[in-house]
Structure 1
Amino acid sequence: MRFRAAIADPATAGPAATAGPTALDRALAFPAGGPVAGPSADRIREEFAEHRFRPEWTWFAEDGDGRPLARALWWGRADSERPVTLDCLQVAPGVADPAALAAALLGAGHAAFGRRPGHHLSLPRGWRDDPALAGAVAWRREAAARAGLTREIERLRYEWTLPRLPLGGPPAAGTAAPTGRLVFREGTDEEFLDVFARISRGSLDLATRYELESLTEEELAREDFEFYRDCPGERSWWRLAHLPDGTLAGVAVPSATPYHRNVGYLGVVPEQRGRGLIDEVLAEITRFHASEGAGRVTATTDTVNLPMAAAFDRAGYEVTGIRLVLEAPPAG
């Protein structure tokens, strides 16, 4: 058994290294079916073309005859130096112990990358009720845990779509009108760092709570700030939320992915929680995206964060599925 990326190491490759199938060919050739299906051929081609799937991030487990038995596709942004997430993990039918083979494949990839990117599984709501699907998730969870991805977060995936409007209608129609309960304005980097730190206190977001086990509020605020600043959205979109008397209430960070507009980051400071102000913040983000011509806005929240889920429901966002995140805890 051997584990390798779809591109040979140029330092050790012989003259025949470029004679065989390309990384894209090999990625496309692996069976993509099963309860947890792999990405479509069209999506694989698009991701390779946009440099989000790459040969060095496309790994296979092969038997002694070179037959691929498992495939792992890691994903990153076009400008990423290293992969950000594991997008797809599949094992060929008939493998006796898929968890063991997949764990070894992940371990080989992690060693090459010098890090352990998390695995994001896109699942339908109620996936536990389907025995075949639950079984396919189970061996992936076991493989991920063996490879060090021992922390799990389950999130609801939401989507807001612009209602059909008469031709020439206002661009933000279909969104909630401002109520005047909050005033939104631009802010300095220092102001956003402060509000990010304050919002982390008492957060129901599991990732935030996990991170605060090893980071201070200020350190986490810096990480969050840099993450959203580096997302495809613009820093100029960000807004601080204040009460009409100038009291800080929260933050609205509209963002984007390489595919569509996204809610990004939002929250209310602890002393203003319980007053329904999160509805105002979410409405501001949705209005902003709609005014920019976005007909689709996505978002996620942890399944345990019931107040945030209720806010998305009230705002007309619909649940489109589950994102199961398997990730490594902080080193040490």
Structure 2
Amino acid sequence: MRFRPATADPADLDRAVAYPADGPVPALTAERIREELAGNRFRPEWIWFAEDEDGEVLARALWWGRPDSEQPIALDCLQVRASVAAPAALAAGLLAAGHAAFGGLPLYNLSLPRDWRTDPAMADAVAWRQKAAYESGLTTEIERLRYEWTPAAGSPAEPSGRLVFREGTDEEFLEAFMRLSAGSLDLHTQTELQSMDAEQLARDDIEFYRDCPGERSWWRLAELPDGTLAGLAVPSATPYHRNVGYLGVVPEQRGQGLIDEILAEITRFHAAEGAERITATTDTVNAPMAAAFDRAGYEVTEIRLVLESPAR
């Protein structure tokens, strides 16, 4: 078996696009793959094949990154031919080869329908992907709800006056990010705080959102009318849609429904800019945040299974 990137043959990109999408796990369309290649979010060196001794492609992996990324950020698509008897072993070898070339372990985003566990074929297809990811070093698993708001949900709630939103300095946002991490139900935050302090995590979060397509000028501090910090709102964007980004309430103000006010502010901001779709994600275990999205008219469109290295 040979594992290689799509860089050796001019026809490799056509082979990657034409690879048959067999199996129940949703695969990217040929049109979407071409769009990602044109946008420099897929690259030949990030597309890997597993070939047998006759040159037949038995597996394909597509890693994704931002247009300016030096290395891929996430595995977007992993497929093995249905004829392969041990798909997990083949996929693990393919991922290991890619990871070795990248010098790191990009996470794996697996997008699934909400009822994937009740479909035996789907559950089996997810299971071998989970095993392959685990064997290649992606041993931390987080299940997330992917939400979406569209104008069909109705106009965002009007400001109630309970909170005042204003621009803030970098130092103020650093302090706010640090305070919000205390007691967070977000699994990524909990995991990161096991290996770093709140200030380093806050700096990493700020750098991440600065690198997103959204603008720093969109960010807002949320305060009570007397100026007391209540939380923050970070409207953001992906390469495809406007996005909720980051939001939260400081520990001492939680439990009063203020998260609804902050989410409404982000939704109003994007809607006022003409957004036809606003996406968001939250962990399935973060029931308060999921409930806030439900109340705000956001709808779950898919489950996102995130597999990553514990060292991320």
Which stretch shifts more, 142-151 or 30-39? 30-39
**Contact 1:59 / 1:71 at 8 angstroms: preserved in 2?**
yes
Of 142, 147, 168, 1:187 maps to: 168
What's the secondary structure of 2:132's corresponding residue? helix
Pairing 1:303–2:284 present: yes
- Listed as ranges, the matches of 1:238-317 within 5 Å are 238-317=219-298
> Is the contact made by 2:18 and 2:30 (CA closer than 8 Å) also made in structure 1?
no
The answer to whether the Cα contact below 8 Å between 1:200 and 1:208 also exists between their aligned partners in 2 is yes
Query: Which residue does 2:71 correspond to in 1?
Result: 82
- Say whether the 8 Å CA contact 1:53–1:73 is kept in structure 2: yes
Instruction: Render the CA deviation track for 1:203-254: whole Å, top value 9, x for unaligned.
Output: 0000100111111100100100000000000000000000000000000000
Kept in 2, the 8 Å contact 1:121–1:323? The answer is yes
Q: Within the alignment, does 1:109 sit opposite 2:90 as a pair?
A: no
1:68 aligns with 2:71: no
What letter matches 1:223 in structure 2? D
Question: Per-residue displacement from partner, 1:12-68 (whole Å, max 9, x unpaired)?
Answer: xxxxx54xx1x3201112111311132001101111111111100000011011111
Q: Paired residue for 2:2?
A: 2
Q: What pairs up with 1:66-215 in 2 under 5 angstroms? A: 66-163=55-152, 174-215=155-196
Looking at structure 2, the residues matched to 97 and 283 of structure 1 have their Cα atoms a distance apart, in angstroms, of 48
Q: 2:45 is matched by which residue type in structure 1?
A: E
Match of 1:56 in 2: 45
The answer as to whether partners of 1:24 and 1:45 remain within 8 angstroms in 2 is no
Q: Which residue of 2 aligns with 1:220?
A: 201
Separation in 2 of the partners of 1:212 and 1:71?
35
CA distance in 2, matches of 1:120, 1:70: 17
Distance 2:13 2:91 in 1: 20
Q: Is the 8 A contact 2:224 2:230 kept in 1?
A: yes
Q: Which amino acid aligns with 1:162?
A: P
Letter in 1 for 2:230: A
- Partner amino acid, structure 2, of 1:174: S
The letter of the residue matching 2:284 is: T
RMSD: 1.1
Q: 1 CA distance for matches of 2:311 and 2:6?
A: 29
* 1:315 partner amino acid: A
SS at match of 1:194: helix
SS at match of 2:177: helix
Bigger radius of gyration: 1
Tell me the distance in 1 between the aligned counterparts of 2:49 and 2:209.
Answer: 32
Write the distance in 2 (CA, Å) between the matches of 1:161 and 1:227.
25
Which whole-Å CA distance do the structure 2 matches of 1:80 and 1:315 have between them? 34
What's the counterpart of residue 39 of structure 1? 28
Residue type at the aligned position of 1:91: V
Deviation at 1:76, TM superposition (A): 0.5
Paired amino acid for 1:24:
L
Secondary structure of 1:278 counterpart? helix
Counterparts of 1:197 and 1:24, CA distance in 2: 44
Scaled by the length of structure 1, what TM-score is found?
A: 0.92
Alignment correspondent of 2:14: 25
Whichever residue aligns with residue 240 of structure 1, its letter is L
| Partner SS, residue 163 of structure 1 | helix
Q: Deviations over 1:179-216 (max 9, x none)?
A: 00000000011111111111010000001001111111
Whole-angstrom distance in 2 between the partners of 1:102 and 1:125: 24
Amino acid aligned to 2:266:
I
1:24–1:48: 8 Å Cα contact kept in structure 2?
no
Which residue in the other structure is 2:309 paired with?
328
Structure 2 length-normalised TM: 0.98
Aligned mates of 2:178, 2:120 — CA distance in 1: 42
Instruction: Quote the Cα distance in structure 2 between the aligned partners of 1:278 and 1:49.
Output: 38
The amino acid of 1:151's aligned partner reads T
Shift of 1:93: 1.4
In percent, how many aligned pairs have the same letter? 74
Q: Structure 2: which 5+ residue stretches go unaligned? A: none
